Chains A and B, each alone.
Chain A
Amino acid sequence: MIPLEPVRLKKERVLIITWSITFLVLFILLIFLGFLMRIGQAEMKKLLLADFYSLMTLHGLGMTAVMFSFAFAILWYLTSTRFTSLNIRIGYLVYFTLLIAIGGLTIGILIGKFGPGWFLLYPLPFKSGTWLSWSAGVTIISLIVLGIAWLIGILHLLYRLAKEFGGFGSLLGWQYLRKKEVEKELPPIILVTTISLVPALLAFIVGAVMLVMYLLQFIDPELKFDPLLLQNITLFFAHTFVSVTLFCGVAWLHQLLPEFTRRKWEISKVFVYFWNATFLLILIAWFQNLYMDFVEPGAREFSGQILNFLSAIPATIITMYGVIVQFYHSKIKWSVVPLMFLFGVAGWAIAGFAATVESTISVYKVFHNTMFVPAHLHTNMLMGVTLFILGFLFYFFCEKTRDYGGEIAKIGFWFFIAGGYGFVLMFYFEGFSSIPRRYARYTGIGIKSMHDTAVQFSQLSVFFVIFLFIGLLIMCFSLMSAFLKTERNRISE
């Protein structure tokens, strides 16, 4: 691609800066909701049950939407400024749709008290009696609108990339498997982006079908759907969505990390094979959740475990290996950006390993639906995806100064790591202690030792979230000052 004209580059920069600031504000607000939930569980402040479940629903739906949207925005920015031109109007469409959807979700959830959790497990959204009936409609419509905007955004991005690199097969790196010499080199970020966004596309289509079914039921409450079918759809959607958000981060890791290690990250045949295998495995890893359903065919349960174990192999082998080769003896200068990338990969590895152990059927039986689930989910999202995102933000905002926030950012980073790991560790301990998840209070359990354990871990967790918060605020301050410095330099130039 020919370098972008300054005017277009500026436009793309304005979009990503707007998006970054929005992300940070929403992210901190949504963490705060989680913090309130932990305070309630710690019995430090009494939270009404309905309020707890509204917070839980908004925290879950909001986080998944905001994190995926921003991960997409980063890929959008890197693609449009380095590989192929994109229609910026579509970028803004996705951005404003996210704002509208978050507004809709907030109204439906905080005012209408809609609280079925981010899973919206059928038929709970329609069978509660505790939330206002319109709130389900507002939430479902907000999610449908957001899904459509994502679909348009992803299709546009993939279409332009396919055009630039000579077809969809080339985006998946198939040209490397032929005997012929490869004419146009494919940057690994493009391959991993494709591997992330195509399953996302499938997940959104399936998710959209589910939401339309929900909308039909909302309009006509007499309708009835099969709860097993809808549970399968929900699990497929949720699993794929979470994996895909992480893989978006892995995609820009391939592009940005080499700038720090000064080592090229190349595509090889093995790389293509492994990522193509991951492509399929992302789509079937959700089978593990079916162990709970006796009526599911046994073969699917066995295959769930086998596929889950297998899905751990290709993506981890190729990425961990790539990351080790990047860092080993690289004489790298340890600013926060490579630190965040390295720790992000470590967070992913830990979450992935914990999830693999959990996917063993016999373990699953005693870990599923306990705090072990938020434990590995938060390790994945907070200690994986969030670090990849923060790494990008420091990279982007300090591109000119190249000091990457200096020592202040590093202090913030270590606070975040200490607070974050302390926070997820409490979830793991609760999981090992069989504490159920999604309990607003532990007073109804009837087993005193369990109640006490849960409350104590929640209290410790509150302490760690404060630590994490401090780290995050220090990093935001550092980012903000880097941004202002760059802008001042730009004006004086």
Chain B
Amino acid sequence: MNFLPQLILQDVAGIIILGGVLVVVAVVVFLIITSNKGADHASDKNKFFGTKDRYFWGSALFLVCILFLSMLLLPNRRYQDEADEVVTVVGVQWDWLMAVGQSNQKPDEFIGKNEISVPVNKRIKFIVTSSDVTHSFAIYNKSGVLLTQIQAMPQYKHELEYLFTEKGKYTILCLEYCGLAHPFMAGTVYVN
């Protein structure tokens, strides 16, 4: 997210959803309040049919605009093959193993640590896989805001690029339910 900080993303989405909810509530209240007022059904129907085209094209146009804008924010494949540093990550029930550099070891033979240090303001490419079940490799900042995530799937190597712009301690959590100790599957990334 180059021009929009992630912290705001959750809030923006929340505000948009709140706006949608308010529209729905307004329509429900309007229908209940006006239901007692009598009018000719046929004329009501014409009134609504008249607005339908506008409603349809209006919402279609709105969605197309949003689509276009939101696609500018695509998180994947932003600086593929141009990363400054590569980190290999293997999810195991129930721990994260990480090591700097690209590893050719098999996931179940991979040797890594639960903690890792990476440089600030460098493009980091995480190559993520799993040695058992599917996990999700999720990066949280120190305030507990989810910054990004990618599936860690056995037999597949998924890539996740991220640019840490602030120094500090980041927590890695598993976000794909992976069995008993799923809520305890945590790791740490130190950004120096």
Interface: A23 (CB within 8 A): no
CB distance from A450 to the nearest CB of B (A): 3
Residue from A301, A445, A453 in contact with B186 in the complex, judged by beta carbons closer than 8 Å: A445
In angstroms, Cα B149 to Cα A368, docked, is: 9
Evaluate contact between A49 and B180: CB separation under 8 angstroms: yes
In angstroms, Cα B186 to Cα A267, docked, is: 55
> Which residues of the other chain, B, contact A354 by a CB distance below 8 angstroms?
17, 20
In angstroms, Cα B182 to Cα A116, docked, is: 11
Evaluate contact between A117 and B146: CB separation under 8 angstroms: no
CB distance from B159 to the nearest CB of A (A): 5
Per-position contact with A for B40-61: 1 when CB-CB < 8 Å, else 0? 0100110010001001100110
In angstroms, Cα B73 to Cα A275, docked, is: 32
CB distance from A32 to the nearest CB of B (A): 22
Evaluate contact between B20 and A128: CB separation under 8 angstroms: no
> Which residues of the other chain, B, contact A369 by a CB distance below 8 angstroms?
136, 138, 149, 175-176
> Which residues of the other chain, A, contact B184 by a CB distance below 8 angstroms?
444
Evaluate contact between A227 and B179: CB separation under 8 angstroms: no
Interface: A293 (CB within 8 A): yes
A362-B1, A442-B183 known; A350 and B21 CB under 8 Å?
Answer: yes
Evaluate contact between B24 and A349: CB separation under 8 angstroms: yes
Evaluate contact between B136 and A292: CB separation under 8 angstroms: yes
Evaluate contact between A447 and B13: CB separation under 8 angstroms: no
In angstroms, Cα B182 to Cα A240, docked, is: 27
Residue from B31, B34, B45, B146 in contact with A366 in the complex, judged by beta carbons closer than 8 Å: B146
In angstroms, Cα B32 to Cα A346, docked, is: 13
In angstroms, Cα B182 to Cα A130, docked, is: 12
> Which residues of the other chain, B, contact A255 by a CB distance below 8 angstroms?
none
Give the interface residue-count category, chain B.
35 or more
Q: Which of A428-486 contact B (CB under 8 A)?
A: 428, 432-434, 436-447, 449-450, 453
Interface: A133 (CB within 8 A): no
Residue from A231, A263, A444, A453 in contact with B153 in the complex, judged by beta carbons closer than 8 Å: A231
> Which residues of the other chain, B, contact A438 by a CB distance below 8 angstroms?
177, 182-183
Evaluate contact between A312 and B63: CB separation under 8 angstroms: yes
Evaluate contact between B183 and A439: CB separation under 8 angstroms: yes
Chain B residue nearest in CB terms to A347: B24
CB distance from A452 to the nearest CB of B (A): 10
Evaluate contact between A357 and B13: CB separation under 8 angstroms: yes
Evaluate contact between A365 and B60: CB separation under 8 angstroms: no
Evaluate contact between A350 and B32: CB separation under 8 angstroms: no
Evaluate contact between B44 and A329: CB separation under 8 angstroms: yes
Interface: A394 (CB within 8 A): no
Interface: B35 (CB within 8 A): yes
Interface: A152 (CB within 8 A): no
Evaluate contact between A445 and B178: CB separation under 8 angstroms: no
7 example contacts (A-B, Cβ-Cβ < 8 A) are as follows A121-B177, A231-B153, A317-B59, A328-B31, A361-B75, A366-B147, A445-B144
Residue numbers of A with Cβ under 8 A of B are: 49-50, 53, 115-117, 119, 121-124, 127-128, 130, 226-228, 231, 263, 270, 291-295, 298, 301-302, 305-306, 309-310, 312-313, 317, 320-321, 324-325, 327-332, 334, 342-343, 346, 349-350, 353-354, 357-358, 360-363, 365-370, 428, 432-434, 436-447, 449-450, 453
6 more CB-based (< 8 A) A-B contacts, given A329-B41, A433-B10: A121-B134, A294-B160, A330-B41, A437-B175, A437-B177, A443-B183
